[in-house]
Structure 1
Amino acid sequence: MNDRQKELLRILLVHKEGFLHIKDLSERLECAEKTVRNDLDRLEEYLLDYPSAGLIRKPGYGITIEMEEAERSSILGSLLSSEPKTKEERLVEIAYQLLTSREAITLQYFAERYYVAKAAIKKDIELISNWFIRYGLELVSKPRVGNIIEGTELQKRNALAHLSELHSSLSPEKNVVLDLFLPYEISIVRKALNDMQDTFSLAISDSSMDSLLVHALIMVKRTRQRSPIFVKGDAKEEACKRKEYQYTTWLFEVLESAFGLAFPEEEQVYFTWHLISSKRTEEGMDQLLEVDEEITRMIRVLMEKMGKLTSAPYESDPILNNGLTVHMQAVINRINFGFPITNPLLTNIKKMYPYMFNMVMMALHDIKRTFQMEIPEDEAAYMVLHFQASLERLGKKQARKALIVCHMGIGMSHLLEAKIEQQYREIEIIACIGKAEVKDYLKEHKIDFIISTIPLEKINIEHIVISPLFGQEEKNRLSQFVEGFKQRQDKLLEPSVFSQFLNEETFFPHVEKAHRYEVVERLANALFQKGYVSKDYIHSAVNRERSSATAIGGGIAIPHGNPSMVHTSVIAAAILKERLEWGNEKVSLVFMLAIAKEDQSKVRGIIGKIASLSETPLLVHALSAVSDYREFLKMIDY
């Protein structure tokens, strides 16, 4: 038997209550009624090997199989044993059937289909039900009727597209949704999408092309099932004006011919939305036909806000501006059209770049107030990568300012200058002067260090003495000096941050709370009571925590509120009596960062120190057992 005939046999074996009509069977199998009749003939031959089995065909009633339960179970077992299902595969298939079925499905149906106990199926249903909530869907269980999904078609399709995220053990590298479709369907749709991309020279990212493939396959499936999407009239008019609508028209002509379907106009609008929301590559910048002025303003405000928070000149980085424009256009469209995404890198980004992640979330809080646009943390994490890359680009431009002091005249001074700048891009020579001019020059100018050809006395700035000929030995010595200078400066950027901002009255050992929001509220309220922050800071800190869990890995969380509500910079530290769920992690140490605007330049060093702490689990474990403030401070400021 082929796969379709096996599925037909399985349907008839599982359905014990009454007859099934040929028409219903053809719809479930997505084939012609004539094909079903031919397959039934094949099943009759197969059932001859089972003495108690009989295929009953009653005109006007339908089809059913009558046989003893032992033999029925034996056939079901053999059907399943040829393709054993893991628990994860079973979860995906059950969720898929619930999302695509118009009728309620019983636990007994799933138990017999997967040859497992009803108790196991019940647990599966509970897990799936909780996951459906993410997409605004409700799984309703009706006694003696079965389980059915309540929600809009858009919500169901969003859930279908994200079935790969149903269980944490499912491999992120493999999109299990594709396993639910036939190979020839996947091949047809993939080729049509690639041809569309080539025909119109669309610069769409690979991940977006994969997403378009899944949504197109779901669209074909739901069109066959006569489950159309709902689109408002004004939304249709707006979509028809977009150039992407022309691309979709071309694509639909190909798919309609290949599948023998006629797609409703609403489906064309729906897929146009997905095309508009797809991520473009950097080369696709010119394809952003009408970048919304509001988005342009939003990016400008975001870059300005981030510049103030991190003291970085982002406005001087055109690559960042272009990248954010391409990205933000897709983000806003996804939010407006109701297409949520899940960022598989979210947890890693929060751990790798805790400083930048928290700065972006803080900036987006202001964006929400100004533009009434809430950007979820999954989208925000991608923005973190844009800003982090910009920070590293800008860092390369921020060379160390050096002064050359040479006793052998202008010619030798400028030759030495040329050699150094050619060899070291991170060194910018500000001037070449004689020894006698040094003190007066330093009064007027700020430099990082001095490169001198003669010893200097009574100079309170780091310097190195080298030969004016600048041979290989001098190059090695200067390299070591520059590297040492960087390390010394980095240490200066992170002085004893905890002794500077943490004090005994903001240290809270043995904190016992049931939820992370309660911990955040307690710490923020303590800071308010002691006069460090305004009362609004409490609400601000809890809201920030609601928007995204502030755990950074290693058992540490760093909640914080709006800096404008901080009167005096302070850090509050809490040691939790029991490890607490903090988003997707367990946390034992909590540092509330209440850093005023005037001290924002120090935030990076503070979070950097905490991030390094999160990478030393033994120290975190030891700190979690401390109850004395001075001992805690001594251990943490190692």
Structure 2
Amino acid sequence: MNNRQKELLRILLTNEEGALNIRDLSEELDCAEKTVRNDLDRIEEFFLDYSGAKLIRRPGFGVMIGIGEGERSAILRSLLSSEPKSNEERLIEITYQLLTSHKAITLQYFSDSYYVPKAAIKKDMEEITNWLHVFHLELITKPRLGSVIEGTELQKRSALAHLSELIPSLSNGKNFVLDLFLPYEITTVRKALEDLRDKFSITFTEEALESLLVHALIMTKRTRQRSSVFVQESEKKSALGRKEYQYAIWFFNQLESVFRLTFPEEERIYFTWHLISSKRVDEGSEQVMEYDEEVAEVLPVFIEKMGKLTLFDFEADSVLQNGLAVHMLSVINRMKYGFPIFNPLLSNIKKMYPYMFNMVILTLEEIKSTFHLEIPEDEAAYIVLHFQASIERMEGKRDLKKKALIVCHMGIGMSHLLEAKIEQQYMDIDIVACIGKAEVTDYIRQHPVDFIISTVPLEINMEYLVISPLFGQEDKKKLSQFVKKVKQNKPDLLEQNAFSQLLTEDLVFFQLDKGHRYEVVEMLATTLVNKGYVRKEFIHSAVNRERKSATAIGGGVAIPHGNPSVVQRSAIAAAIMKEPIEWGDERVSLVFLLAISKENHRDVRAVIGKIASLSESPLVVHELTVAENYQDFLRIINK
């Protein structure tokens, strides 16, 4: 609401003398009577979020508000605490209003509401339009009426749940969607979810609980607006037999009694889908396999193919099978019900584990047609963590002394990865358990622990260290202050030898001038075809792979690659760009196109490891970009 509307609302809330005349209100607010009536419409819409508030219009007498004292106080406090909005907050609020409005809204309305020029609102609209395309929604402008979002209710709800991603640089882990709801609504829904968890002994991850909170709040809002989801009859029947449907019935009974609201059956089905798709930490692989046929089919094939690609015995790792079974159950259900996730760690995972990320993407491509399962890179990045943790368990050496507890808020895969990395690199640390924040107090009361390593701040009377879930260089320095001995990794000569053997002078291009990354990939791939290293299909597979997910790994370096089954002789083609080129969300100066056959797949890890280490050294990358010939280029790589 704009300031005039807020003042009108304040007048109505503080009035104790019966109905107020429209003419009197127009004089007090110094505006036309028509403007007052329009503002009353806006207030009426605002009251949809308050089940106990109602705008009462009495023709010939005036208007008044019917409201309880509790909600009257809450609204007045909200009005008093209103502050000017930042550009980012304005963008999120405008998007929220467009997604929840049945009517078109004009630029002038937003301009008046936020006290900014229409030009600024137009710029916001352009940004919103581009962002909505991810959710298959269209922002339509209707002459003289304004802008309105067109799409299905499911698509709109998906966008609402991901509003924080509209400004990824601003979020910093905070979910801005919650700021759009009243404190009592958040408290009520959160308590109902926690009661649901405790009553039925469901061990949701903290991340899953937060996601359910957001979706339940959106359901409440849209139910008040009489904008329910549409569910096919066949989908209704399949949900009715699930235990999660009974959970949903119980949950909505709690909300209905507090909000004085009746949720339609479609909302129960919709929430059932969310419960089915939520990540949990207590199920083992056998339970999941028995419960879900699709996971039982996909998982063994996936793990077997990953083992063949990487030459690691993943099938012997029961921890991997357990964690991945639980995770894949959630992934498959999210894909089935159309609940995309945003992975805030995607770019970091791609940079830190480029080899494993590419192996997972390659395996997912192979099984896609068999199981009709298309998994986006946001999901794939979480899967990477499970396999990376498995490798680090296999390679880690245990010489453990200090007892440490890991508190991680991001689920099984991330917890196991963090555990494996710490135990591998710190010889005198014994990770006794990986738990969620809610379990800390009970755990340390019952088990002896020397110190705690946490990914979130804790409220405990014990020394603990907060680190990033990905455990980067700064975190290693911080942890080194806690312990005396640190495991040192020796340089791997295999990386250097494998890389040098695959890179030849006729496959390195200096000062390459191309406008788009697809052109670079196509040119390098065509060179490999012409020189007999790969079959012609390699070009299409390499460009397609790049379309699916940009292969930049940070530091100005990219590692595109194609289908290894069409490689005849393993090779690497390299390009030093004349000017840095856009490569997804990054700018790249060095491109290494990998063409490594399945027979030589042992080399892939060594090669990507070498390139990843290069990307972490800005000085080396700079020296490579100014190299004038192949001899200098190779010397810099090998030094």
| 1:349 counterpart = 2:349 | yes
Residue 8 of structure 1: CA displacement?
5.0
Cα distance in 1 for residues equivalent to 2:496 and 2:147: 60
- Match of 1:611? 612
> Aligned pair in 2 of structure 1 residues 544, 345: CA closer, same or farther (>3 Å)?
same
2:529 touches 2:535 (CA, 8 Å); kept in 1? yes
- Match of 1:500? 501
Alignment of 1:274-285 (within 5 A): 274-283=274-283
2:388 partner SS:
helix
Cα distance in 1 for residues equivalent to 2:33 and 2:592: 61
| 1:250 counterpart = 2:268 | no
Letter in 2 for 1:567: Q
- Match of 2:213? 213
Residue 145 of structure 1: CA displacement?
1.4
1:496 partner SS:
helix
Cα distance in 2 for residues equivalent to 1:194 and 1:269: 20
- Match of 1:142? 142
Letter in 2 for 1:158: S
Cα distance in 1 for residues equivalent to 2:510 and 2:548: 26
- Match of 1:168? 168
- Match of 1:595? 596
Unpaired segments of 5 or more residues in structure 2? 13-25, 65-78, 400-426, 429-486
2:280 partner SS:
coil
> Aligned pair in 2 of structure 1 residues 398, 83: CA closer, same or farther (>3 Å)?
closer
- Match of 1:227? 227
| 1:36 counterpart = 2:37 | no
Letter in 1 for 2:176: V
- Match of 2:115? 115
Cα distance in 2 for residues equivalent to 1:16 and 1:606: 74
Alignment of 1:453-492 (within 5 A): 487=490, 490-492=491-493
Cα distance in 2 for residues equivalent to 1:557 and 1:136: 29
- Match of 1:130? 130
Letter in 2 for 1:36: L
Residue 124 of structure 1: CA displacement?
0.9
Letter in 1 for 2:537: D
> Aligned pair in 2 of structure 1 residues 595, 5: CA closer, same or farther (>3 Å)?
same
- Match of 2:562? 561
Q: TM-score scaled to structure 2, two decimals? A: 0.76
Cα distance in 1 for residues equivalent to 2:342 and 2:33: 41
| 1:26 counterpart = 2:44 | yes
1:204 touches 1:284 (CA, 8 Å); kept in 2? no
Deviation digits for residues 424-456 of structure 1, max 9, x if unmatched? 99xxxxxxxxxxxxxxxxxxxxxxxxxxxxxxx
Letter in 2 for 1:205: T
Cα distance in 2 for residues equivalent to 1:351 and 1:610: 11
Q: TM-score scaled to structure 1, two decimals? A: 0.77
1:23 touches 1:33 (CA, 8 Å); kept in 2? no
Cα distance in 2 for residues equivalent to 1:572 and 1:60: 82
1:598 partner SS:
coil
- Match of 1:159? 159
1:510 touches 1:576 (CA, 8 Å); kept in 2? yes
- Match of 2:527? 526
Residue 294 of structure 1: CA displacement?
2.8
Deviation digits for residues 186-223 of structure 1, max 9, x if unmatched? 01100000000000000110000000000000000000
- Match of 1:585? 586
Residue 33 of structure 1: CA displacement?
9.8
- Match of 1:386? 386
2:203 touches 2:281 (CA, 8 Å); kept in 1? yes
Give the number of aligned pairs. Answer: 521
2:533 partner SS:
coil
2:148 partner SS:
strand
Cα distance in 2 for residues equivalent to 1:272 and 1:121: 38
1:136 touches 1:151 (CA, 8 Å); kept in 2? yes
2:283 touches 2:326 (CA, 8 Å); kept in 1? no
Deviation digits for residues 534-553 of structure 1, max 9, x if unmatched? 11111111111111111100
Alignment of 1:162-561 (within 5 A): 162-283=162-283, 288=288, 290-396=290-396, 487=490, 490-561=491-562
> Aligned pair in 2 of structure 1 residues 398, 597: CA closer, same or farther (>3 Å)?
farther
Deviation digits for residues 157-184 of structure 1, max 9, x if unmatched? 0000011110133223211100100000
Cα distance in 2 for residues equivalent to 1:23 and 1:285: 54
Letter in 2 for 1:564: S
Cα distance in 1 for residues equivalent to 2:515 and 2:32: 47
Letter in 2 for 1:377: E
Cα distance in 2 for residues equivalent to 1:8 and 1:631: 74
2:229 touches 2:270 (CA, 8 Å); kept in 1? yes
Residue 342 of structure 1: CA displacement?
0.6
2:344 partner SS:
coil
> Aligned pair in 2 of structure 1 residues 120, 85: CA closer, same or farther (>3 Å)?
same
Letter in 2 for 1:611: A
1:256 touches 1:263 (CA, 8 Å); kept in 2? yes
Cα distance in 1 for residues equivalent to 2:617 and 2:53: 68
Letter in 1 for 2:309: L
- Match of 2:414? none
> Aligned pair in 2 of structure 1 residues 89, 561: CA closer, same or farther (>3 Å)?
same
- Match of 1:413? none
Letter in 2 for 1:623: L
> Aligned pair in 2 of structure 1 residues 398, 303: CA closer, same or farther (>3 Å)?
farther
Residue 268 of structure 1: CA displacement?
0.4
| RMSD of Structure 2 on Structure 1 (CA) | 3.0
Cα distance in 1 for residues equivalent to 2:170 and 2:264: 34
Deviation digits for residues 560-594 of structure 1, max 9, x if unmatched? 01111100000000111221111111111000010
| 1:637 counterpart = 2:638 | yes
2:289 touches 2:296 (CA, 8 Å); kept in 1? no
Cα distance in 2 for residues equivalent to 1:556 and 1:575: 10
1:579 partner SS:
strand
> Aligned pair in 2 of structure 1 residues 85, 21: CA closer, same or farther (>3 Å)?
closer
Cα distance in 2 for residues equivalent to 1:360 and 1:255: 41
Unpaired segments of 5 or more residues in structure 1? 39-56, 64-78, 400-423, 426-482
1:204 partner SS:
coil
Letter in 2 for 1:385: L
> Aligned pair in 2 of structure 1 residues 91, 22: CA closer, same or farther (>3 Å)?
closer
1:623 touches 1:635 (CA, 8 Å); kept in 2? yes
Residue 495 of structure 1: CA displacement?
3.2
- Match of 1:75? none
2:588 partner SS:
strand
Cα distance in 1 for residues equivalent to 2:398 and 2:307: 15
